[in-house]
Amino acid sequence: MTRPSDSRGPDAPLTEEALGDLRRNLCRLSTPGLVNAYAEAWQRCKLGIAGKPPRAECIQELVQVWKALRKQR
Q: Is residue 57 situated within a structural domain? A: no
Q: Is residue 23 situated within a structural domain? A: yes
What Å distances lie between residue 48 and 38, 43, 44, 45, 55, CA to CA? 18, 10, 9, 8, 10
Q: Is residue 60 situated within a structural domain? A: no
Of the pLDDT bands very low, low, confident and very high (cuts 50, 70, 90), residue 6 is: low
Q: Is residue 7 situated within a structural domain? A: no
Q: How many domains does the chain have?
A: 1
Q: Is residue 72 situated within a structural domain? A: no
Q: Is residue 6 situated within a structural domain? A: no
- Residue-wise pLDDT tens digits, 13-29: 999 999 999 999 999 99
Lowest mean pLDDT among 9-13, 21-25, 36-40: 9-13
What domain range is 30 assigned to?
17-48
Q: Are 13 and 51 in contact (CB under 8 A)?
A: no
As a whole number, mean pLDDT of residues 24-53 equals 95
- Residue-wise pLDDT tens digits, 52-72: 999 999 999 999 999 999 998
